[in-house]
Amino acid sequence: MMKKTTMDLNITDAKKRTALHWACANGHAEVVTLLVDRKCQLDVLDGENRTPLMKALQCQREACANILIDSGADPNIVDVYGNTAVHYAVYSENLSVVVKLLSCGADIEVKNKAGHTPLLLAIRKRSEQIVEFLLTKNANANAVDKFKCTALMLAVCHGSSEIVGMVLQQNVDICAEDTCGMTAVRYAIACGFDHIHQQLLEYKQKISKNSQNSNPAEGTSEGTPEEAAFLAERTPDKAECSVERTLDE
């Protein structure tokens, strides 16, 4: 008579990935359901501290992600790059999963190693719907990344006047400076976004009527060609920093 054996569902490969990691990465929802029903570990970490939920979102396997979320997977685990499941959902521009994660207690303000909250990452991805949703959930519009680049600066650098408008509605500090001494207005000049530059100036003129602490000099300056050239040389390449590489790997 053959002896009944029990298979270890949580056995890992050389990179500490389990069967659940592989099923999620390849979009095998039926296998994910089977493994979950067999009580495999939901939040097991691979070699880069990525959970199966993160792999599902990284590989844009929404059905697998939903199964894990509904089964109680932890949305706030952080990988070696500081990213959570929400960062992966935002990077994949999956609004429905972002909504679901936040409804399940995901941290809306967690920063990865680049200093990006989900809102800052959504702005860099020019994901207008996700930005709008996060702002309605009171995401901090004054958050800054590791270069002290604000949400407004990121919106300006990525040329999205719509997102610039959304951020301005949050009464952010338009005169804030990053580690390079750049402001949102200076980035608009450096990037040659005349329409956004004008948008910012109009906003500054509007708030200057209600504040005696505004800076008339910067608020009315249109910027000279010489200033634009100087600022362009100083513009740091933040638009393509490490977060994309870490989320894509």
Interval 85-136: pLDDT, tens: 999 999 999 999 999 999 999 999 999 999 999 999 999 999 999 999 999 9
**Residue 183 belongs to a domain:** yes
**Residue 91 belongs to a domain:** no
**Residue 2 belongs to a domain:** no
Categorize the per-residue pLDDT at 61 as very low, low, confident or very high, splitting at 50, 70 and 90.
very high
- 98-106 long-range contacts, CB within 8 A, separation 24+: 98/130, 98/133, 98/134, 99/133, 100/66, 100/69, 101/69, 101/75, 102/137, 104/69, 104/75, 105/75, 105/76, 106/75, 106/76
pTM of the predicted model as reported, rounded to 2 decimal places: 0.84
User: Are 77 and 150 found together in one domain?
Assistant: no
**Residue 226 belongs to a domain:** yes
**Residue 116 belongs to a domain:** no
pLDDT tens for 222-238 read: 444 444 444 444 444 44
Query: How far apart are alpha carbons 64 and 78 in whole angstroms?
Result: 19
Categorize the per-residue pLDDT at 212 as very low, low, confident or very high, splitting at 50, 70 and 90.
low
Whether pLDDT at 243 is above 60: no
What is the number of structural domains in the chain? 2
Contact 235, 159 (CB under 8 A): no
| Average pLDDT of the residues in 159-188 | 97
Number of helices (H), then strands (E), belonging to the chain: the values are 15, 0
**Residue 133 belongs to a domain:** no
Q: Which of 62, 81, 100 is the last residue of a domain?
A: 81
The residue segments making up the domain with residue 187 are 140-235
User: Are 144 and 222 found together in one domain?
Assistant: yes
Categorize the per-residue pLDDT at 12 as very low, low, confident or very high, splitting at 50, 70 and 90.
confident
**Residue 210 belongs to a domain:** yes
Q: Which of 31, 57, 81 is the last residue of a domain?
A: 81
Residues 6+ apart with CB under 8 A from 55: 21, 24, 25, 46, 61
Whether pLDDT at 219 is above 50: no
Query: How far apart are alpha carbons 70 and 20 in whole angstroms?
Result: 15
Categorize the per-residue pLDDT at 209 as very low, low, confident or very high, splitting at 50, 70 and 90.
confident
User: Are 150 and 66 found together in one domain?
Assistant: no
Query: How far apart are alpha carbons 198 and 193 in whole angstroms?
Result: 9
**Residue 204 belongs to a domain:** yes
